[in-house]
Amino acid sequence: MPSLRKVSRSPFWIACFRDAKGRQYNRSTKKKDKGSASAVALEFERMAGGWMADNPTVSAVFDLASNLSERIGQPLQVVTIAQEFNGYLLNLESKSESTRVRYRQIVEEFLSFLGKDAGKKLVSLDSSVIAAFQDSRLRAGLSPASCDLGMKLVRQILKRAFLAGRITTNPAVNISLLNRKGAQRGVFEPEQVRALLMACEGFKRGPLDIGQDWRGATLVAFYTGARISDVANLRWHNLDFEMRFIRYSEKKKRFATEITVPLHDELEAHLLGLSAPDDPQAFLFPRLAGRTTSGVRGLSGEFVMLMELAGIERRVVREGAGDTAGRGRAVFDLGVHAMRHSFNSHLSRAGVPEDVRQRLCGHDSKEVNRRYTHHEIETLRASVAKLPGVSAFPAKESGKGAAKNRKGAKRA
């Protein structure tokens, strides 16, 4: 006797039945009504008892389901592997542009790996092929974390097809992730941050003096944990000197929740010492704003130059593959993104609870982040205050500059 069950995110009943040899199958009935679904399930089992005993392949099961679906007036959509994977890319509106680019690249790699087989029916996709794709990416020099990301995407795409009833099982679900620890980033110690701040004096890129902007950006990165792309594009209206916090939305996430981080005393002193413009929409660090992060002339490469001036050495934590595609590039322990790791690590050393650190870093999705809304601003302020001091020469809070900044903050 067949049984029915429901799965998450699918409105249809799933029929669970066995063939004459006792093999169990799970197949969408394409029916939302339980009574109609029961009738389809009985027909599945009846036909499986004879016809499927002599045709045990997955493709044969799919053909049976397709024929049966047409008989009950519910034609089953047959798609190719390429159609399914390319179709998934058309429904990524909620993802950021960088995520869409990465997903598109993985799908293109997968379809290229399949070659002509990408035009075959989706139901013919076998787990051994997916495992071979994972192995090929690892041999190409990609990190285990990158390989796992690709496998998770393949799983997600096939899960979507399963829930829609286009395949009977997800062939990627049982392929294990590599579960290896990725390259461990380093942490900037207070004396290293001080050296960076000292190196900012007179730091130039060509004829352009960028030292002052980099000094402020370094302090913001260390005392807020914000990514350099977010730091570089901060505007004066992101600062609230009256309430003493900085508020921004992560550029990496398309629908990100605003992150609020209280101003550390040393960061506040530096920002108050700056000359505030009349326009609250003006960039806080105009010589860094709007620039790309990656590349030799990007912000990351510029920060490496600053590290060299400060006498800070970098250690390779993962060798690159050195292939022409640029994959498997070398990873260093210290760089501009290590500031984000440093923020979190120093908070942890100071005994700040993990959930508070997650709130300050904005690591979680909006749904998860709602669980941290009970943290009042003073709780967060006390946590940030535990970060060590790094300024070798704190900015003086001049009466003119501080008054103008506070006035501008109120107007914003």
In tens, the pLDDT along 152-162 reads 999 999 998 88
Residue 55 belongs to domain spanning: 3-71
**Higher pLDDT pick, 180 / 249:** 249
Same domain, 86 and 201: no
Count other Cβ atoms within 10 Å, centred on residue 99.
Answer: 14
Helix intervals (H) in 140-281: 144-163, 190-199, 211-224, 228-232, 265-272
Closest listed residue to residue 122, CA positions, set 131, 108, 111, 133: 111
Same domain, 38 and 98: no
**Helix (H) and strand (E) counts in the chain:** 16, 10
Residue 168 lies in a domain: no
What integer pLDDT is reported at residue 111 of this predicted model?
Answer: 96
C-alpha to C-alpha distance for 360 and 154, rounded to whole angstroms: 32
DSSP H or E segment with residue 15: strand 14-18
What integer pLDDT is reported at residue 112 of this predicted model?
Answer: 95
Same domain, 312 and 364: yes
**Higher pLDDT pick, 351 / 60:** 351
Sign (positive/negative) of CA torsion 234, 236, 237, 242?
positive
Count other Cβ atoms within 10 Å, centred on residue 275.
Answer: 9
C-alpha to C-alpha distance for 11 and 339, rounded to whole angstroms: 46
C-alpha to C-alpha distance for 70 and 95, rounded to whole angstroms: 36
**Higher pLDDT pick, 82 / 25:** 82
Residue 184 lies in a domain: no
C-alpha to C-alpha distance for 206 and 297, rounded to whole angstroms: 11
- Contact in structure between 119 and 79 (CB atoms under 8 Å): no
DSSP H or E segment with residue 125: none
CB neighbour class for 181 (10 Å; exposed up to 12, middle 13-18, buried from 19): exposed
Same domain, 286 and 374: yes
Q: 66: which residues sit within 8 A by CB, 6+ positions away?
A: 75, 76, 78
Average of per-residue pLDDT across 291-314: 88
Residue 174 lies in a domain: no
Residue 121 lies in a domain: yes
Write out pLDDT tens, residues 192-207.
999 999 999 989 888 8
Same domain, 209 and 262: yes
Last residue of a domain, one of 17, 52, 71: 71
Same domain, 255 and 397: yes
DSSP H or E segment with residue 8: none
DSSP H or E segment with residue 65: helix 58-71
Average of per-residue pLDDT across 128-135: 92
C-alpha to C-alpha distance for 100 and 94, rounded to whole angstroms: 9
What integer pLDDT is reported at residue 371 of this predicted model?
Answer: 36
Q: 109: which residues sit within 8 A by CB, 6+ positions away?
A: 133, 137, 150
- Contact in structure between 231 and 220 (CB atoms under 8 Å): yes
Same domain, 244 and 383: yes
Average of per-residue pLDDT across 355-383: 61
Same domain, 297 and 157: no
Residue 185 lies in a domain: no
Last residue of a domain, one of 71, 89, 124: 71
Write out pLDDT tens, residues 37-60.
877 777 777 776 644 444 444 445
- What is the domain-level CATH number for residue 382? 1.10.443.10
Q: How many domains does the chain have?
A: 3
Same domain, 27 and 85: no
Q: 76: which residues sit within 8 A by CB, 6+ positions away?
A: 30, 65, 66, 69, 70, 165, 166
Please give the full DSSP string across 326-392, using - where no structure is assigned.
--S--EES-STTHHHHHHHHHHHHTT--HHHHHHHHT-S-HHHHGGGTT--HHHHHHHHTTSPP--S
- Contact in structure between 318 and 330 (CB atoms under 8 Å): yes
Amino acid at 97: E
C-alpha to C-alpha distance for 250 and 371, rounded to whole angstroms: 19
Least confident of 127-141, 160-174, 312-326: 312-326
Last residue of a domain, one of 71, 95, 117: 71
What integer pLDDT is reported at residue 349 of this predicted model?
Answer: 85
Sign (positive/negative) of CA torsion 109, 113, 116, 118?
negative
Same domain, 151 and 208: no
Average of per-residue pLDDT across 382-387: 86
pLDDT-above-70 percentage for the chain:
75
Write out pLDDT tens, residues 215-255.
999 999 999 999 999 999 999 999 999 999 999 988 765 55
Residue 181 lies in a domain: no
C-alpha to C-alpha distance for 40 and 48, rounded to whole angstroms: 12
Same domain, 311 and 223: yes
Same domain, 219 and 104: no
Band of residue 11 on the pLDDT scale cut at 50, 70, 90:
confident
Residue 50 lies in a domain: yes
What integer pLDDT is reported at residue 157 of this predicted model?
Answer: 94
In this structure, the strands spanning 259-262 and 3-5 are unpaired
pLDDT-above-90 percentage for the chain:
35
**pTM confidence score:** 0.54
207 alpha-carbon distance from chain centroid: 37
Residue 277 lies in a domain: yes
Q: How many residues does the chain have?
A: 412
